[in-house]
């Protein structure tokens, strides 16, 4: 079971026991991903923490 | 297994010291000579106190150098080219860390280094020692010229972009640590003058631009500009490369694909592009003492430019580390051998 990384376009293998809302990491670009759906396998960028950088 | 006998000529400088730090723990290397005119007869740790208790070797004079399998030349620019015959006779393989054999075109030396090259016929026999671009040539090479530090920090991140997209011009802005200036002190390196600076020391015409032109722009179709700055670092370079395209309709995913297809298997290239946290993009602090080359990028939605960042340790991936990586390739060793180090944190 695999899905495309929305960040870099690479194929990301999902673990067999993956569940929806699980957080994964793309092995190639390192971005954090959230499993949105298992059928079909779909990944989105994981939610970002909100940080104040003094801007 | 038979060890390779290696010598370091110019062993008392920062680059020479870094070579010794790497070679003394390399499992396939026996160091047979460490040459320094100024330090001959003294223990190595007199110049490199971090090696105290690591080796009993002493510096020797150039005349005491015996033959070996490999010689590293860590000499001031201009010295290796004038003495090269001596070293080519003394070893079958030579790795030069100066700029003396980096440029393929003899005419480039008067342009960039303000003198004629005394042995122009040798230039094409030296391989430009950047494994990410010239791995196959390095494997078969007898003589290698190790790239300049800021050139490394610009060429590695820019090459896949220039090969993939129609680039119009590039501006490279590099922040450079003080160790890139070598061991000889001057008024500009005196502590009260050097500490705390953000100093534009060569806004145009820096010599490493010649290497960037050679490796990135052989056809001359792209305009490449380079401005380095001395900053409050001992080790490290952060190169920020501003890339402007003929057509800015590219996506970050296409940039990722360009990088992954070029460097996915590279042992020392890492990608750093985080959306959260403190270290979102490459930082010299996190590559200090290592041979890593960290690359990050971001598309500027306002102007369409691509901002590419690259962090290296100028003495490692920018000099001695890259030299040892080349050595590993030349002798068929694992490319990572002797270079398995991670930076400290914090």
Q: What structural domains does chain A harbor?
A: 2-45 (2.20.28.160)
Contact present, A43 and A3 (Cβ < 8 Å): yes
Range of the domain at B69: 4-125
Low-confidence ranges of chain B (pLDDT < 50): none
- Same domain assignment for residues B171 and B304: yes
Do residue B166 and residue B273 come from a single domain? yes
Q: Is residue B197 part of a domain?
A: yes
Domain presence at residue B114: yes
- Smallest CA–CA distance from B298 into chain A, residue: A7
Q: Are residues B108 and B154 in the same domain?
A: no
Answer whether residue A55 shows pLDDT above 90: no
Q: Which of A8, A48, A51 sits opposite B256 (nearest CB)?
A: A8
Q: Does the pLDDT of residue A27 top 80, yes or no?
A: yes
Residue A53, pLDDT above cutoff 70 = no
Q: What is the pLDDT of residue B161?
A: 98
- Regarding whether B160 and B306 lie in a shared domain, the answer is yes
The answer to whether the Cβ–Cβ distance between B273 and A49 falls below 8 Å is no
Contact A8 B275 (CB under 8 A): no
Assess whether B159 and B60 both reside in one domain.
no
Q: What is the CATH classification number for the domain harbouring B68?
A: 3.40.50.720
* Cβ atoms of B237 and B318 closer than 8 Å: yes
Establish if B286 belongs to a structural domain: yes
Comparing A51 with B5, which gets the higher pLDDT? Answer: B5
Beta strands B143-145 and B167-176 are: unpaired
* Domain final residue, candidates B125, B141, B168: B125
CATH number of the domain enclosing B257: 3.30.360.10
Closest Cβ–Cβ partner in A28, A45, A48 for B260: A28
Give the model's pLDDT for residue B32.
95
DSSP state, B58? B
Nearest to B256 among A7, A45, A48 (CB): A7
Q: Count structural domains, chain B.
A: 2
Is B149 one of the annotated active-site residues of the chain?
yes
Q: What is the mean pLDDT of chain B?
A: 96
For strand B68-73 and strand B4-9, is the pairing parallel, antiparallel, or unpaired?
A: parallel
In a domain, B338, yes or no: no
CA distance A4 to B306: 23
Structure confidence at residue A48 (pLDDT): 79
CB contact under 8 A, B260 and A8: yes
Question: Closest Cα of chain A to B44: distance in Å?
Answer: 42
Q: What is the pTM of this model?
A: 0.95
The pLDDT tens digits of the residues spanning B64-120 come to 999 999 999 999 999 999 999 999 999 999 999 999 999 999 999 999 999 999 999
The closest alpha carbon to B321, from B303, B309, B338, belongs to: B338
B94 lies in the same domain as B223: no
Same domain for B92 and B226: no
Same domain, B81 and B221: no
Q: Does B251 touch chain A if contact means CB atoms closer than 8 Å?
A: no
B156 and B292 share one domain? yes
Task: Look at residue B32 and tell me if it is in a domain.
Answer: yes
Q: Are residues B158 and B304 in the same domain?
A: yes
Q: B114 and B189, same structural domain?
A: no
- Cα–Cα dist B234/B285, whole Å: 10
């Amino acid at each position: 079971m695999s899905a495309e990384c929305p960040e870099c376009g690479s194929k990301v293998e999902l673990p067999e026991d993956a569940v929806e809302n699980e957080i994964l990491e793309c092995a190639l670009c390192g971005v954090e991903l959230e499993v949105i759906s298992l059928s079909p396998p779909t990944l989105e960028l994981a939610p970002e923490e909100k940080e104040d950088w003094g801007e | 297994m038979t060890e390779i006998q290696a010598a370091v000529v110019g062993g008392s400088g920062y680059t020479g010291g870094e070579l010794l730090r790497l070679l003394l723990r390399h499992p396939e290397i026996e160091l047979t000579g460490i040459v320094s005119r100024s330090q001959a007869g003294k223990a190595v740790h007199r110049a490199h106190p971090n090696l105290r208790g690591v080796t009993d070797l002493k510096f020797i004079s150039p005349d005491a150098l015996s033959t070996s399998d490999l010689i590293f030349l860590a000499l001031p620019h201009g010295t290796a080219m004038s003495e090269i015959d001596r070293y080519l006779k003394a070893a079958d393989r030579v790795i030069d860390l100066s700029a003396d054999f980096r440029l393929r075109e003899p005419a480039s030396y008067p342009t960039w280094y303000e003198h004629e090259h005394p042995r122009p016929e040798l230039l094409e026999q030296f391989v430009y020692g950047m494994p990410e671009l010239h791995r196959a040539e390095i494997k078969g090479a007898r003589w290698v010229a190790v790239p300049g530090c800021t050139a490394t920090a610009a060429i590695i991140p820019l090459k896949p972009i220039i090969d993939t997209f129609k680039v119009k011009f590039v501006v490279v802005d590099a922040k450079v640590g003080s160790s890139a200036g070598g061991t000889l002190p001057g008024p500009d390196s005196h502590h009260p003058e050097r500490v705390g600076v953000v100093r534009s020391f060569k806004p145009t015409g820096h010599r490493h631009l010649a290497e960037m032109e050679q490796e990135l722009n052989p056809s001359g179709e792209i305009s490449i500009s380079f401005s380095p700055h001395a900053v409050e670092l001992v080790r490290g370079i952060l190169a920020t490369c501003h890339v402007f395209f003929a057509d800015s309709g590219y996506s970050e995913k296409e940039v990722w694909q360009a990088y992954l297809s070029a460097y996915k298997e590279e042992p020392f290239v890492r990608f750093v592009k985080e959306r959260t946290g403190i270290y979102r993009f490459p930082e010299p602090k996190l590559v200090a003492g290592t041979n890593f080359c960290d690359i990050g990028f971001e598309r500027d939605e306002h102007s369409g430019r691509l901002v590419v960042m690259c962090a290296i340790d100028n003495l490692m991936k920018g000099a001695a580390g890259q030299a040892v990586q080349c050595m590993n390739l030349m002798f068929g060793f694992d490319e990572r051998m002797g270079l398995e180090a991670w930076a400290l944190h914090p």
